[in-house]
């Protein structure tokens, strides 16, 4: 393997040291994007959970701040959310605006406990998150008798004039309501018999309203994490499209419909930013770029795990119904160092379309038209291949990844070979974002998002290769090297 410095990403948030997992408390206030996250500063494997904290003005360059929340006599600080309390509805800020943070209190395990006993806690900050006070009445919601009761997402619902909390209730999510952000009442639950389940609890719910592109109406999106049996074995994120009336969520699709937010193996615990200004209007999402079966065993030592690049989500009509589409944040345009283009390249196999040398980071956009019985192989870096095949008028993307360094969990869990069926053969767009330890791909104008880690054994110089192995192709390509702080 390479020295760990060659795996530290340039454009993806990672801890300076220690362990990172779920994004928590994504909120915008007074010109700053806040990123809180599950953090253990004492080691680079999972341990007693704190809330790390960083801020940014552009979602790419982050300033690390002191730990926001730390374990206390009630327990550890598991995942949760943050929101701006506009107008001091909680009564905690003397009539001014402030920040509320809700987190799961994970108490000490007793001999008969299957997991850490869980309840919901509240903390608040009057100085834009620099200092936090835990609410003296914690927990604000005691455990209702469940093993899995965690990961609260809280927002203000203007039509009903209530705070809404969505929280894991085992294989379901529960919806709670509050007027003052401190006293909560159970309203309803959703999830039994709907979507994808495995033997473990759903995790990290999010619920938000989003406009249907090109229409005046909107829908509500419910996001939940599936711990072990996602699209590919391991952790993953699914979503539901539906309606929310302030008390109940209803699914627009049939209960057996499963919609995956990402088709890679390293996009989990996804959350979206709260309180984005209306003038901006984007729904910005962030995922933990790892997967539980091998997360504790990645080949770095002093730090472990990173976040995805933030995504802009939109909801679009398709022949299959309303679906979320992804785009990499537009702020990446400010990092472009150069520009290279190829248009109308037409060739028959075997042929090389291009070899692009890169070291730090690279973004490339492709538009390809494959004849039937053709295959185009993209090799972003050593150990990773993406093979697009047109056969019998169908497009299929094969994702391959190799990797081993003598750790059994990593050596067995990290490699993969799986396919994504993309429908009828047609001109297809592909957008790749490559950083030092990640390969992020958006397909078909963002209809499919595919996020995978990569730890090449050779480098730090890499070559992105595009090779036509069978058939014929017509392709356009535009690519840029990316430079931090440009």
**What positions carry a catalytic annotation?**
22
Partners of residue 433 on adjacent β-strands:
363, 440
What order of strands is seen across the sheet that includes strand 63-69? 63-69, 50-56, 32-40, 18-29, 303-304
**Count of CB atoms situated within 10 Å of the CB of 230:** 25
CA angle 237, 27, 98 (to 5 degrees): 145
**Count of CB atoms situated within 10 Å of the CB of 439:** 25
What is the rounded CA–CA span in Å between residue 85 and residue 348?
60
What is the rounded CA–CA span in Å between residue 439 and residue 381?
9
**Count of CB atoms situated within 10 Å of the CB of 293:** 18
What is the rounded CA–CA span in Å between residue 431 and residue 268?
20
Q: Is the peptide bond before 246 cis (omega within 30 degrees of 0)?
A: no
- Give yes or no for a contact between 386 and 472, defined as CB atoms under 8 angstroms apart: no
- Could you give phi then psi for residue 51, rounded to 5 degrees? -105, 110
- Give yes or no for a contact between 222 and 166, defined as CB atoms under 8 angstroms apart: yes
Name residues whose C-beta falls within 8 Å of residue 222's C-beta, 6 or more positions apart in sequence: 166, 173, 190, 205, 206, 207, 239, 240, 242, 249
DSSP conformation letters of 277-312: -TTT--EEEEEE---TTTGGG-S-SSEE--BPPPEE
- Give yes or no for a contact between 48 and 109, defined as CB atoms under 8 angstroms apart: no
User: Which candidate, 130, 36, 30, places its Cα nearest to that of 78?
Assistant: 36
**Count of CB atoms situated within 10 Å of the CB of 79:** 29
């Amino acid at each position: 393997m390479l020295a760990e410095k060659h795996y530290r990403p340039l454009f993806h948030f990672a801890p300076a040291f220690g362990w990172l997992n779920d994004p928590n408390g994504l909120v915008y206030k007074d010109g700053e994007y806040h990123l809180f996250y599950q953090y253990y500063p004492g080691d680079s494997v999972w341990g007693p959970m704190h809330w790390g904290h960083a801020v940014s003005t552009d979602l790419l360059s982050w300033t690390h701040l002191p730990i926001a929340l730390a374990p206390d006599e009630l327990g550890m600080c598991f995942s949760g959310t943050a929101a701006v309390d506009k107008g001091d509805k909680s009564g905690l800020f003397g009539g001014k605006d402030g920040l509320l943070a809700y987190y799961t209190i994970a108490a000490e395990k007793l001999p008969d406990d299957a997991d850490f006993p869980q309840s919901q806690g509240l903390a608040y900050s009057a100085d834009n998150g620099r200092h936090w006070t835990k609410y003296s009445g914690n927990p604000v919601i005691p455990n209702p008798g469940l093993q899995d009761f965690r990961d609260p997402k809280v927002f203000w619902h203007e039509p009903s004039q209530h705070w809404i909390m969505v929280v894991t209730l085992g294989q379901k999510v529960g919806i709670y309501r509050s007027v003052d952000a401190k006293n909560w009442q159970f309203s309803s639950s959703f999830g039994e018999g709907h979507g994808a389940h495995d033997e473990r609890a759903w995790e990290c719910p999010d619920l938000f309203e989003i406009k249907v592109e090109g229409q005046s109406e909107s829908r509500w999106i419910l996001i939940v994490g599936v711990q072990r049996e996602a699209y590919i074995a391991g952790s993953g994120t699914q979503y539901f499209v539906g309606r929310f009336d302030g008390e109940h969520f209803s699914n627009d699709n049939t209960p057996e419909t499963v919609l995956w937010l990402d088709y890679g193996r390293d996009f989990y615990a996804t959350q979206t930013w709260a309180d984005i200004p209306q003038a901006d209007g984007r729904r910005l999402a962030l995922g933990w770029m790892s997967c539980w079966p091998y997360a504790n065993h990645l080949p770095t030592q002093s730090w472990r795990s990173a976040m995805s690049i933030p995504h802009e989500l939109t909801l679009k009509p398709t022949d299959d119904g309303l679906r979320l589409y992804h785009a990499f944040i537009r702020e990446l345009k400010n990092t472009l160092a150069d520009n290279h283009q190829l248009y109308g390249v037409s060739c028959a196999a075997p042929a090389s379309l291009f070899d692009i040398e890169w070291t730090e980071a690279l973004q490339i956009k492709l538009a390809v038209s494959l004849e039937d019985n053709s295959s185009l192989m993209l090799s972003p870096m050593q150990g990773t291949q993406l093979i697009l095949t047109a056969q019998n008028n169908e497009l299929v993307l094969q994702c391959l990844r190799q990797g081993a360094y003598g750790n059994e969990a990593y050596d067995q869990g990290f490699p993969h070979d799986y396919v994504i069926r993309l429908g009828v053969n047609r001109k297809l767009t592909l957008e790749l974002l490559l950083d030092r330890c990640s390969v992020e791909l958006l397909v078909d104008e963002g209809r499919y998002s595919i996020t995978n880690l990569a730890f090449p054994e050779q480098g730090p110089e890499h070559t992105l290769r595009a090779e036509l192995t069978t058939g014929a192709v017509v392709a356009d390509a535009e690519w840029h090297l990316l430079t931090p702080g440009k």
